[in-house]
């Protein structure tokens, strides 16, 4: 008897009935349109009247309908993802402020749109092939490429594949139709060198960047143009690798080969920071014994001793513009093939 009382005292809660998620068919029925029309309206397709689109949007809100991302991808043939590709070693990406600015700029471009940013970094054997396969087999809707090299087969492969692609910096050895944003590197380097010349310097060398990158090629050309226009010898050239350690090594070689230098234009601030360290080790005072001029103004220039005179380029704005162009290409907006060029600013500090 006691066990029966105990059993009758136990209350079993009613089973919860799980409500099925609203479907596209229910949305279409409530909106009074066909399933195909509802799908086009939800996925941003064309051939949908304003009245039908408004009815579908009202039905979606009323039912709490959430589109299935897989179905949406199949309907639109889009993934909702774009890639920022940086073909450089991980260690360089993590230490060079250029790349932090590029990432911030791209993030700014996609943050107000329904896009996910995918970051691809590395530069090693076989990387271009694997990256090309990933980018061209439906994983992303388009890509922005930064810090590209002449021997990167990835560049031409992506442009010729038809994938929407935008470059940060003038790409080398690709079809002329490739879209890109850039700084007027040659003119900026010429302005920097002309400033050194107007300050009375006559034996001006340069630590140039890698010979397989357009930014380095153009900055070296600008230095050459200023030297030629002034009738000065342009023989003091050593190439670095856009790193601080590379700048120190290049400056050491430049001083060993040309001990009479009174000024040096360095193709990036990061290399210039390494060059300043080499000069300090040798007891060479900046700017009293030798003036130094950099390029970028991405934070490093203000922290060196002495602070660097430099050419400032708006990398974050450039990356944002590249992302906006990519977004337009993906959505079918007519984008001119003309490059978008940003001016550089002459910023004077104690080093020159």
Q: Average the pLDDT over 168-197 and give the result.
A: 95
Tell whether 147 and 197 lie within a shared domain.
no
Alpha-helix residue ranges (DSSP H) falling in the chain: 2-9, 24-31, 35-42, 50-63, 69-76, 90-95, 97-110, 127-135, 153-161, 185-198, 214-229, 244-257, 269-281, 315-330
Tell whether 150 and 192 lie within a shared domain.
no
Tell whether 153 and 88 lie within a shared domain.
yes
Tell whether 218 and 288 lie within a shared domain.
yes
What are 265-280's pLDDT values in tens digits?
Answer: 999 999 999 999 999 9
Residue 257 domain flag: yes
What are the percentages of helix, strand and coil residues in the chain, rounded to 5? 45, 15, 40
What are 224-279's pLDDT values in tens digits?
Answer: 999 999 999 999 999 999 999 999 999 999 999 999 999 999 999 999 999 999 99
Residue 10 domain flag: no
**Into how many domains does the chain fold?**
3
Tell whether 266 and 323 lie within a shared domain.
no
Tell whether 189 and 310 lie within a shared domain.
yes
pLDDT at residue 191 is higher than 90 = yes
Q: Which CATH number fits the domain that encloses residue 39?
A: 1.10.260.40
Tell whether 85 and 172 lie within a shared domain.
yes
User: Are the beta carbons of 275 and 207 closer than 8 angstroms?
Assistant: yes
Tell whether 47 and 132 lie within a shared domain.
no
The per-residue DSSP string of 95-119 comes to H-HHHHHHHHHHHHHHTTTT-EEEE
Whole-structure pTM value = 0.77
Q: Which CATH number fits the domain that encloses residue 268?
A: 3.40.50.2300
Tell whether 167 and 212 lie within a shared domain.
no
Residue 109 domain flag: yes
Tell whether 149 and 177 lie within a shared domain.
yes
- Burial class from Cβ neighbours inside 10 Å (0-12, 13-18, 19+) for residue 294 reads buried
Residue 13 domain flag: no
Residue 49 domain flag: yes
Other Cβ atoms less than 10 A from the Cβ of 143: the count is 24
Tell whether 163 and 236 lie within a shared domain.
no
Higher pLDDT, 90 or 352: 352
Tell whether 90 and 202 lie within a shared domain.
no
Give the range of the structural domain holding residue 174, as residue numbers without chain letter.
81-182+316-342
The continuous run of DSSP H or E covering 183 comes out as strand 179-183
What are 142-154's pLDDT values in tens digits?
Answer: 999 998 888 888 8
Residue 295, phi then psi, degrees to nearest 5: -155, 125
């Amino acid at each position: 008897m006691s066990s029966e009382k105990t059993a009758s005292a136990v209350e079993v809660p009613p089973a919860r009935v799980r409500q099925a998620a609203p479907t596209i068919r229910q949305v279409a029925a409530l909106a009074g349109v066909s399933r195909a029309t509802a799908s086009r309206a939800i996925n941003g397709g064309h051939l949908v009247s304003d009245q039908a689109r408004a009815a579908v949007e009202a039905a979606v809100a009323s039912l709490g309908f959430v589109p299935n991302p897989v179905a949406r991808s199949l309907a639109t043939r889009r993934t909702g993802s774009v890639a920022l590709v940086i073909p450089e070693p991980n260690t360089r990406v993590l230490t060079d402020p250029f790349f932090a600015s590029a990432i911030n700029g791209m993030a700014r471009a996609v943050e107000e749109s329904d896009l996910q940013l995918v970051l691809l970094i590395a530069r090693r054997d076989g990387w271009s092939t694997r990256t090309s396969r990933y980018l061209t087999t439906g994983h992303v809707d388009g890509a922005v490429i930064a810090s590209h090299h002449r021997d990167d087969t990835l560049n031409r492969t992506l442009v010729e594949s038809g994938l929407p692609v935008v470059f940060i910096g003038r790409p080398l050895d690709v079809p002329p139709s490739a879209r890109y944003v850039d700084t007027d590197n040659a003119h900026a380097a010429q302005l920097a060198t002309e400033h050194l010349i107007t300050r009375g310097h006559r034996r001006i060398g340069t630590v140039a960047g890698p010979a397989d990158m357009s930014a380095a090629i153009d900055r070296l050309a600008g230095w050459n143009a200023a030297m030629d226009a002034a009738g000065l010898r342009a023989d003091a050239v050593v190439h670095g690798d856009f790193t601080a350690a590379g700048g120190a090594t290049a400056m050491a070689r430049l001083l060993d080969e040309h001990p009479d230098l009174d000024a040096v234009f360095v193709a990036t601030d990061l290399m210039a920071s390494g060059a300043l360290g080499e000069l300090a080790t040798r007891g060479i005072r900046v700017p009293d014994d030798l003036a130094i001029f950099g390029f970028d103004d991405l934070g490093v220039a203000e922290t060196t001793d002495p602070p660097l005179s430099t050419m400032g380029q708006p990398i974050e704005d450039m990356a944002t513009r590249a992302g906006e162009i990519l977004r337009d290409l993906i959505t079918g907006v007519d984008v001119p093939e003309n490059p978008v060029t940003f001016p550089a600013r002459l910023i004077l500090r104690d080093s020159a």
